[in-house]
Amino acid sequence: MKVSLAFLAAVLAVGMCATVQQLIHHEVVYLYSTDKDMTVDHCATKCNALFDLIAGHDEDRTDKICHYECSCQKNNSCRQITNTHHRTTTAAAPAPATA
């Protein structure tokens, strides 16, 4: 049971990572939309204040994501955040010939 809970927690943590990065990405877009001349350091400071977390290791992660997003958006060098869930479809079988 403990192993199952640990596995579930790990899966949820990985899934939430993309969500947090997307949230930070959108906040940084907004920060730059309000002040296009903002420096990367000032942006990172504002972003860090928005995501001020109690758990130390989580705070370090959000600080790094904030700095990355502020830097790449200022320099137009961001890698696109993509959804890892892909739906696939298959073509329908051709209709049988009628005589």
Q: Would you list the domain boundaries of the chain?
A: 20-74
C-alpha–C-alpha distance, residues 6 and 41, integer Å: 37
The model carries a pTM of 0.61
> pLDDT by residue (tens digit) across 28-84?
999 999 999 999 999 999 999 998 877 667 888 899 999 999 999 999 998 865 555
Average pLDDT, integer, range 94-99? 66
pLDDT band at residue 24 using 50, 70 and 90 as cut-offs: very high
